[in-house]
Structure 1
Amino acid sequence: MGAQWKAKGREAAASAKGKLFTKLTKEIMIAARNGADPDMNPRLRLAIVQAKKASMTRETLERAIKKGSGQLDGGVSYEKVVYEGFAPHQVPVIVECLTDNVNRTISNIRGLFRKGQLGASGSVSWDFEHVGMIEATPTNKDADVEMAAIEAGAQDFEANEDGSATFITDITDLDIVQKALPDQGFTVESAKIGYRPKNPVSLSGEALDEVEAFLAAIDDDDDVHEVYVGLAAE
């Protein structure tokens, strides 16, 4: 399943796009706290790239940057909160939320974890690596993912079934590596800091279906930004 779980069977396209824009807007506002100039703010630069790929309008993008950087009055202040626990069958899960109301969020998360087990901070994060993750696609058939990883300075890589690759980096090297990959024949699709499982649990059949349904419900919550799971589907 990889480091980040992605839900199967999304909702209608319009609804899915609305949820994506909400998540992108929150990320831009959080990133803009450290400065409105993307040339001086790597996290904001990456958030802007993702927003443009999702066809966010320039007006919406600029408004999010101004709100986040304090240039507009009345902006919503979002806070990042992280929850750890287990899905059914003792599958470790890390849930990152961006919220303007922590009390609402924790109430929702507790409800969503009824079929699993919500743990304390550190209860499962020890079983994950906190790393940079770069999703990239080759620009030509001769692009070599292993050589690209070495030359760009990535720690590791995972080749995906669709021909793309996930490059794993030190957190501090994320921006450097994503800038270097185009010269190695890869187009960067996304880049972020996330969690990579060390010992993913292997499941199949009904057990896998149960875990996926649990994760889908969490991913559907408006405050949830990212879901990371130690799961390897057989």
Structure 2
Amino acid sequence: MGAQWKAKHKADASAAKGRIFTKLAKEIMVAARNGADPDMNSKLRVAVEAAKKASMPKDTLERAIKKGAGLLDGPANYETVVYEGFAPHQVPVIVECLTDNKNRSAQSIRVLFRKGQLGSSGSVSWDFKYLGEIVAHAVTPDADLEVAAIEAGAQDFEEGEEGDCIFLTEPTDLDAVSKALPAFGFNVTSARLVYRPNNPVTLDDAARAEVEAFLEAIDADDDVQHVYVGLAG
């Protein structure tokens, strides 16, 4: 899932929630570039659903939509930048930033990778699958995970945590499958392109703790949106 390394218990829950809200707000702002009405903008609708699931305050959510749509303080100029490298013990890592200042992000990432090894583009992504990942949950009694996956055009499916269902797609099919799933009784709460490792590394407890500390530091950076790691669960 790309986030299985995250600690089960955060020492500072409020700070962790604040970081989650910041990341979700950025995704809302980017999605809102194509329109401020979630009913007419499927990407914004999914981003809003994810924010609501995380209990984002209504004022924060509405401000992010207005900011992204250019209705408040001018448009939000975020762009995606991807970095590749290795955590300690040669664990492959892909870091996805959503930033309004690429120079700042590059400097931060270089510092954060001092305990690992920052690589060039393509240095580890060859060992990951790049695909669409849709998280949804059944909202009708007759909703069938396998039938929905086949009929909506997903490549694969699996059961997630807390009753979630996960549909995997080709990158180009992500939007079409997301739009098709409600007809088969599923409400989409997240739909995005992700990296999944082909050969996750298994470590002992001490080495794993070192890698997790490295990843936590990266994930806490304001410009970092997603961290994907080739680490066995």
TM (norm. structure 1) is 0.85
The residue number in structure 1 matching 2:155 is 155
SS of equivalent residue, structure 1 residue 96: strand
Determine the structure 2 residue equivalent to 1:3. Answer: 2
What is the CA distance between 1:117 and its match in structure 2? 0.8
Distance 2:203 2:144 in 1: 31
Contact 1:112 1:218 in 2 (8 A): yes
Matched, 1:54 2:54: yes
Q: Closer, same or farther in 2 for the Cα pair 1:38/1:163, shift >3 Å? A: closer
The more displaced of 199-208 and 223-232 is: 199-208
Deviations 1:167-226 (A, max 9, x none): 211223223323444554544332211112222222232222221121111111121110
Structure 1 residue 136, shift from structure 2 partner: 3.0
Give the counterpart letter for 2:147 in structure 1: M
Match of 1:188 in 2: 188
- Given residue 88 of structure 1, which amino acid in structure 2 is its aligned partner? P
The 3 A distance-change label for structure 1 pair 77 and 39 is: same
Structure 1 residue 94 displacement after superposition: 0.8
Q: Which residues of 2 match residues 162-181 of structure 1 at below 5 A?
A: 163-181=163-181
Matched letter for residue 178 of structure 1: S
Q: Secondary structure at the match of 1:112?
A: helix
Partner of 1:199: 199
Q: How many residues align?
A: 232
Partner of 1:116: 116
Closer, same or farther: CA 50–179 of 1 in aligned 2, 3 Å: same
Unaligned runs of 5+ in 1: none
Distance 2:39 2:100 in 1: 27
Query: 3-state DSSP class of the match of 1:231?
Result: coil
Seen in structure 2, the aligned counterparts of structure 1 residues 6 and 51 have a Cα distance that, compared at 3 Å, is farther
Distance 1:164 1:158 in 2: 9
* Alpha-carbon separation, structure 2, partners of 1:179 and 1:34: 17
Q: Secondary structure at the match of 2:25?
A: helix
Contact 1:134–1:178 (8 Å) recurs in 2: yes
More off after superposition, 213-222 vs 159-168? 159-168
SS at match of 2:66: helix
Structure 1 residues 136 and 203, CA gap change in structure 2 (3 angstroms): farther
1:45–1:162 Cα change, 3 Å: closer
Aligned to 1:28: 28
Please state how far the C-alpha of 1:23 moved relative to its aligned partner. 0.8
Segment of structure 1 superposing worse, 221-230 or 75-84: 75-84
> Do 2:46 and 2:189's aligned partners in 1 also have CA atoms closer than 8 Å?
no
Residues 12-21 or 222-231, more deviating: 12-21
Classify 1:126/1:185 alpha carbon distance in 2 versus 1 (closer, same or farther; 3 Å): same
Cα distance in 1 for partners of 2:61, 2:121 equals 33
Residues of 2 paired with 1:113 and 1:101: CA distance? 19
**1:37 counterpart residue number:** 37
Q: Secondary structure at the match of 1:55?
A: coil
Cα distance in 2 for residues equivalent to 1:13 and 1:67 = 27
| Structure 2 counterpart of 1:110, one-letter code | R
Residue identity matched to 2:89: H
Residue 143 of structure 1 deviates from its aligned partner by 5.7
Aligned-CA RMSD value:
2.5
Pair 141,118 (structure 1): closer, same or farther in 2 beyond 3 Å: farther
Per the alignment, residue 77 of structure 1 pairs with 77
2:232 counterpart SS class = strand
Distance 1:185 1:81, change over 3 A: same
